[in-house]
Amino acid sequence: MKFTRSVIAASIALAALAGCSSSNDETIQPVTEARFATYNLSFDRDTYEALVAEMELSREEQSALIQRYKDNDSTLTETQKTTAKKVIQIRNVAETIQRTRPNVFLLAEFNNDGEGKDMKAIEGFHDNYLAYAQNDQLKPISYQFRKNIATNTGKPSGFDLDNNGKATNIQNDAWGFGNYYGQYAFAVFSQFQIDENNIRTFQNFKWKDMPGETNLKIVKCDDPTKIPAGKSCGDNWYSDEAWEQFPLSSKNHADLPIIIPTPSGEQVIHFLVSHPTPPIWANAANHNVIRNHAEIEFWKDYIESDNYMYDDKGITGGLAAGSKFVIAGDLNADPIQGDGDLTAINDLQKSPLVNIHATIGSQTPTSKGGPECFDLEICTGDNKNTPYIDHITSKSGLRLDHVIPSENLTVTDSGVFWPASYEDGYHLVYDKELGNSKGVSSDHRLVWVDFDLTK
């Protein structure tokens, strides 16, 4: 990992004291560098209320519960033990953020209320975890600007989308897979001002309105048991009524303009964030593979200033030509291998509008912990043959998490926070009891890229 130089001075200067409120009245000093990141935190709890309860625990309550758990306190209930382990996970995630200190980052799999209006979980994570140093060598970190994003996960569709005879409005019958409205949502934290008036979201952009996209057809015909009753090979999977209303985004696509003060004036970087559906668990119409491809291709069209898309305010068109941008998220697509259609992620990474040094070149984010994870046989072995083993970002052995900057941004450094067993911070990605997945922190790793804003 490329963490040899001191972490960006701007991050340290911007980090506020513990207990910072969410008011936006702090003075933001000009900076010459910035770090953007994406992190799938695996905060996908069984209910939103469960996540809120964990996040609202005070520092003292957290410490007392963890101590009782480590002491094998016989009076702890099973629920309390589970909560203690969840608190340890949240603290480890917070420590990862404090170690890498991104200025702006996407928080994937951070449940919300569906509409993104309830801020209790977001504020609790910020004020009760990030605001406290997670070990003696670290400093708290503050994000003055915090944005919840509405999601399609668990949003009731009213249709029997999986054609099993029941319209449940959850899981595969929701517009995006989720056990309830708001599961697997995402948020953005920033130390620089988010231009609220010019945020664009595409939650309601219809899949059918993307050029070349049509109602999915049953194409997996070798196993008749997977073809719904009353349908045949080649038939449309979705009803005409459902297809007319089907959103492209399984969660959302959002364009957040980040206003960054520099000594030579303000710069705007468009933070383009999403979390496409994983191209697995596909039905007979291969729905997740096709949707994942389309969700990624949307960003390629957007940065090319295409004009077919319309946002949730009714404004049409893509990003203005010449804009600076950073595409970030768990895109659930590895450019080399995996279950999906790899053309969209490859087209995006190799676009002349992106900085290919940071996508396929010498500044591609890497780690030492990823390759070692295979050597220690604690990562999924199916993908061990990848030619770029130091690029992987998840325990699946795939490079799923991406930070893709525009060609007109100067990249100075990058990395995947995945310490090897001989590096500091290994306890954040592997624990003998909690494992190397969602138990200890996440099954994904934080990916970051640094930019020189003077050029």
pLDDT at 317 over 90: yes
DSSP tag of 297: H
For domain 9-452, give the fold. Deoxyribonuclease I; Chain A (3.60.10)
Comparing 195 with 15, the larger pLDDT belongs to: 195
Residue 4 binned pLDDT confidence (cut-offs 50, 70, 90): very low
352-363 per-position pLDDT tens digit: 999 999 999 999
Which tokens go with 68? 């009782």
Phi then psi dihedrals of residue 406, to 5 deg: -70, 160
CB-based contact 430:378 (threshold 8 Å) = yes
pLDDT of residue 358: 98
pLDDT of residue 89: 98
Residue 225 binned pLDDT confidence (cut-offs 50, 70, 90): confident
pLDDT of residue 378: 82
Q: H/E/C letters for each residue in 325-380? A: EEEEEECCCCCCCCCCCCHHHHHHHCCCCECCCCCCCCCCCCCCHHHHHHHCCCCC
pLDDT at 235 over 70: yes
pTM of the model: 0.94
Helices of type H across 120-193? 120-125
For the segment 247-264, the average pLDDT, to the nearest whole number, is 98
First to last CA, the chain: 25
Q: Pseudo-torsion of CA 151, 444, 44, 380, nearest 10°?
A: 120
For the segment 274-286, the average pLDDT, to the nearest whole number, is 95
70-83 per-position pLDDT tens digit: 999 999 999 999 99
pLDDT of residue 10: 39
Distances (CA, A) of 15 to 5, 140, 143, 174: 18, 7, 7, 39
Coil, helix or strand at residue 149: strand
Question: Residue 265: beta bridge partners?
Answer: 262
Helix axes 78-100, 48-55, angle to 10 degrees: 70
Which tokens go with 339? 């279950």
Cα 232 from Cα 230, distance rounded (Å): 7
Residue 382 binned pLDDT confidence (cut-offs 50, 70, 90): confident
For residue 288, count other CB atoms closer than 10 A to its CB. 22
For residue 211, count other CB atoms closer than 10 A to its CB. 8
Question: Residue 440: beta bridge partners?
Answer: none
Mean predicted lDDT score pLDDT of the chain: 93
pLDDT of residue 17: 29
pLDDT of residue 300: 98
pLDDT of residue 315: 98
95-142 per-position pLDDT tens digit: 999 999 999 999 999 999 999 999 999 999 999 999 999 999 999 999
CB-based contact 451:409 (threshold 8 Å) = yes
pLDDT of residue 25: 56
